[in-house]
Structure 1
Amino acid sequence: MNFNFKEIITAFMVLFAVIDIIGNIPIIIDLRKKVGHIQSEKASLIAGFIMILFLFVGKSLLNLIGIDVNSFAVAGSFILFFIALEMILGITLYKDDSNGSAAITATVFPLAFPLIAGPGSLTTLLSLRAEFAIENIIIAVILNVIFLYIVLKTSSKIERLIGASGIQIIRKVFGVILLAISVKLFAQNIKMLFI
């Protein structure tokens, strides 16, 4: 076992910034209004399962189609870069128009996937795997899932407590952190492609 507290915290912060559950509180509240109830436990568990499964299977899938982890990490750094720009500038580069009518559909689509375990977080997981020990990433995913569950359960209280401007400030701060991480990820992995 290769547990490293610094790696766990870094991986947690990266995933937290990419998932952006605080910034997605308005979407969660809107879903709750549409379907009446969101199954927080199911949404958190499904999202966690998808992320951990992709952490193990993702590399094999890449090898199957002939892509190495460093190339994927460079591609992932671009996705993180654009997600960070969305957060900082308040623009939307990617929009998913899928909407469900049933509570179970709202739990899985679009909440667990792709809002939580979406392209950004899945790409991030493989990018992190290129740098960190897998057990530290798993702990970071579990911590994020626990945090997700708490936020989903208390989303309306958090919105009242922080307010719309508070949510915007948090998004911009995490956007800047994510931007810096994407640049670092790009710089570290681009070198590996030319060795």
Structure 2
Amino acid sequence: MHSFYTQLVTVFLGFFAIMNPVANTAAFAGLVGDRDKKDQYRIAAKALLITFAVILAFSLLGKAIFQLFGITLPALRITGGILVFLIGYHMLNGSGSKLHSAGSSEETDVAVSPLAVPLLAGPGTIATAMNYSASGGLTGIVVTLSVFALLCLITFICFIFSARILALIGQSGLGMVTRLMGLILAVIGTQMAMAGVLAFIKLPGMA
């Protein structure tokens, strides 16, 4: 039971750090802050539904994707760890990662891009979801999706109250939160990569 709660906390912190609802609230406000409340609700709901659908697909089809492309779990952990570490490193230095860029075009639905992809469901988020779900069997998938659904709900609330949240924490508070999430991400990325290297060494023929 203790290991189950540890897994819950680990998955929650991993997703919370990489999604960074507070920082993404600033991006949301910058993109749609000038629109009416009804439009903001619609965009926030659409973006988070698409985000959850993307993570759901990669969580459920992770093993099939592995088999189709001949990918091993250690390879995913190493690559995902590197991606997560790089995102954390950029956040730790107070700059956004190019993997989570907010650049958008007027011709693009902002709910789809950049909000859903790549801000919320970027490469690091997908790699994290696949790593957690693929390494824990059915329980891993259920925990991953349940925790991610909770994070989507938290992010939706942050988006809806974006103006109040940003006024409350200010620019300096936003920077502090971003750096703290960056530190957590860098550690999680390192841990993922280390687990991947150790698992790779233990593969048949590698000893």
Q: Would the TM-score normalized by the shorter structure come out above 0.5?
A: yes
For 2:131, the equivalent position in structure 1 comes to 127
Q: CA separation in 2, counterparts of 1:167 and 1:92? A: 12
Classify the secondary structure of the residue corresponding to 2:22: coil
Measured after TM superposition, the shift of residue 128 of structure 1 is 1.8
What is the aligned residue count?
192
For 1:44, the equivalent position in structure 2 comes to 48
After superposition, the C-alpha distances for 1:10-54 in whole angstroms (9 at most, x for unaligned) are 101101111122112222111114665332222111111111111
For 2:78, the equivalent position in structure 1 comes to 74
Matching of residues 1-195 of structure 1 within 5 Å = 4-33=4-33, 37-38=39-40, 39-94=43-98, 96=101, 98-101=103-106, 105-132=109-136, 133-195=140-202
Measured after TM superposition, the shift of residue 93 of structure 1 is 4.4
Letter in 2 for 1:13: L
Contact 1:50 1:117 in 2 (8 A): yes
Measured after TM superposition, the shift of residue 130 of structure 1 is 4.4
Classify the secondary structure of the residue corresponding to 2:8: helix
Q: Structure 1 regions of 5+ residues with no counterpart? A: none
Measured after TM superposition, the shift of residue 92 of structure 1 is 4.1
Give the percent of matched residue pairs that are identical in Structure 1 and Structure 2. 24
After superposition, the C-alpha distances for 1:76-111 in whole angstroms (9 at most, x for unaligned) are 000011011111102344164752436x81111111
Change (3 A) 1:8 1:179: same
Classify the secondary structure of the residue corresponding to 2:70: coil
Q: Structure 2 regions of 5+ residues with no counterpart? A: 203-207
For the aligned residue pairs, the C-alpha RMSD in angstroms reads 2.1
